[in-house]
Amino acid sequence: MRRDAWMRVFGAALLALGLVACEEGRAPVTADGPGGGGGAPGTADAATPPPPAADAGPPTAQRANLRFKGGLRLRNDFAQALELPAAEVCTELGRYDCVDVVHGVTLGGVDPYEKGLYEARPVTGVSTPLAVERMALSACGRAVDRDLAAGEGGVFGALPVADGALTDVEAEAVAATLDGLYKRALLRPVTPSEVAHLRGLYRDVAAKGGAAPARDWAVLACFTTLTSLEMVLY
């Protein structure tokens, strides 16, 4: 009998412990249902759409070891982005290639025969940014003039231009042109904030009262894209 009584007491104790454990592991019940999360029990508001993604701006570098592309890479990248032959990206006096002849050393190249420079400099020089800007301005001017003269195709041919000015800076064709430029040059879509800034740039250019604000703006928009750190570094 004592053995049976001991077994009954032990069983009751196990049952009580089991009930306590169940109560501790159970989610609290509120007016919104178990867990207080709302909706049907066992769901996680699957029908609620996520908030729209904010404009995060241009991407950030994933590594700290960024390097200057150098003249040859930049010339090839400019040529590919703007659909120009490499030889037409930039020439001085219409004869001397900016990379091969004029600014080669400044842009990270070597010149063993005339200057006795057999190794590239470990850092860029003071005039390197000016040489990059010279190349970009030349390439952008050539591409814009070609596309606006054709009125179609290329990078800037779809811009709505009449009498030298954009007919509507807010037109979808303007945003599409900028998006195409960014995808060609930076290999990513343009962000809404970048479109807004470049549209504001057109208003500033047009306010100056030039004869061809659309052309001037397109060159500057191209120039700012090609000379960005995102473009000249890798």
Write out pLDDT tens, residues 180-213.
Answer: 999 999 999 999 999 999 999 999 999 999 999 9
Beta carbons within 8 Å of 205's beta carbon, 6+ residues apart: 213, 216, 217, 220
Most confident of 6-15, 32-41, 56-65, 170-179: 170-179
First to last CA, the chain: 87
232 has a pLDDT exceeding 90: yes
Residue 48 pLDDT more than 70?
no
Region 95-111: what's the mean pLDDT? 88
- Among candidates 29, 27, 10, 6, which has minimal Cα distance to 18? 10
Beta bridge partners of 176: none
CB count in 10 Å sphere of residue 63: 5
Between 11 and 145, where is the model more confident?
145
| Residue 33: predicted pLDDT | 43
pTM (two decimals): 0.72
Q: What is the mean pLDDT of residues 84-103?
A: 93
pLDDT-derived band at 106, boundaries 50, 70, 90: confident
Closest CA to 217 of 234, 193, 187, 197: 197
